[in-house]
Amino acid sequence: MSLTPLEENVASHETPGSKFFPPFAVTPELEAEAGKRLAQFPEDRKRSAVLPLLHYVQHHHGFISAEAIDWVAARLDITPVKVLEVVTFYPGFRQSAPGQFHVRVCRTLSCAMGGSHELMKKLCELTGIDRTSCDAHHHPIAVSPCGKWSVEFAECLASCGTAPVCLVNDDFHEAVTADKAQTLLDSYSNGSSSH
C-alpha cells in the first residue's frame, strides 16, 4: 500500500522500542492535564497549550502518533495540521518510539571538544546500535535491536563547563566521558529512570 505524502508525514513506524510504550489512549489523567494547561492561557487562546499537551503525550506514550495529533487538535479546537506542523518543527518531538531509555548526547562545540563523539561511539558499541542511517534532520534517533536503548545527538544542553553531558530520558548526567559509558548504561539496566 502506498502512502500519500500527508499520510507519510503523520505515520509512525514500528521500532524495537515500541513494545515499551502503551499505545495512545485518552485517560482521565490526560484530560486533567489538558484542563490544567488550558487554564494557564486566555480562553480564546487554547492553541497555546499545544506544546504542554504534546509533552504529556510523548512522556507517557513515547512518541506522538497520528491518533494523538487528532485528539490534541480536537481538544484545542484547531485543525490537525496545526498540531502536525508543531510536531515536525520542534526537535524535541518524535513520531516513532525511541528505546526504553533514550540517550541524548550533546554534540555542540564544548561537549565535542570534551569527547562527546567518542561517547556516542562507545554507547553504540555497547548497545549494538547502528547510526549509519541517521541524519540530523529527519532521522536523528537510532534504536538498539533489543529496543531497550536509543541514542540521538542533541544540540547544546547548556552545561558546557562539565562536558561531555547527556540526558537519559529526563535524567541529566555530567562529565560522561567514553570510559564512563558502561557505568551509565549499568545504572539503568535494572532500575527505571524518572521517565
Partner 1 sequence: MISYKSGKQPDSREYRLIFKNVDREGWDPSIDCYLRDGGYEELRKAMGMEPKAITEEVKKSGLRGRGGAGFPTGLKWTFIPPNNTKPVYLICNCDESEPGTFKDRYIVHQDPHQLIEGMVIACFAVGAKVAYIYIREEFPEAAIILENAIQEAREKNFVGKNVLGSGFDVEIHVHRGAAAYICGEETGLIESLEGKRAYPRIKPPYFPAALGLYLCPTIVNNVESLCHVKHIVRMGGEEYAKLGVKNNTGTRILCVSGDVKKPGYFEVEVGKVTMRELLYDMCGGPKDGRTFKAVIPGGSSAKILRCDETFTLRGKGPEGSDLQLSFWDIPMDFDSLAACGTMAGSGGVIVMDDTRKMSWVLNNLNTFYAHESCGQCTPCREGSMWMKKISDRLVAGDAAPEDIATLESVAYQIDGRTICAFGEASSWPVEAIIAKFREELLSETHAGIENVPHNPEAEAQRRFLNHTPAEPGAPVTADIA
> For the chain, how many helices (H) and strands (E)?
8, 5
Q: Binding mask 57-96 vs partner 1 (x if CB under 8 A, - otherwise)?
A: -------------------x-x---x--xx--xxxxx---
35 binds partner 1 (CB under 8 A): no
CA distance 151 to 147: 11
Identify which of residues 134 and 146 has a Cβ nearer to partner 1 in the complex. 134
Give the footprint of partner 1 on residues 129-188 (CB under 8 A): 136-137, 154-163, 167, 170-172, 174
Name the grid cell of 50: 499545544
Q: Are 168 and 118 in contact (CB under 8 A)?
A: no
Q: H or E element: which one contains 173?
A: strand 171-173
**CB count in 10 Å sphere of residue 132:** 6
48 binds partner 1 (CB under 8 A): yes
- Which residues form the interface with partner 1 (CB under 8 A)? 40, 42, 45, 47-52, 54-55, 76, 78, 82, 85-86, 89-93, 104, 107-110, 112-113, 136-137, 154-163, 167, 170-172, 174, 194
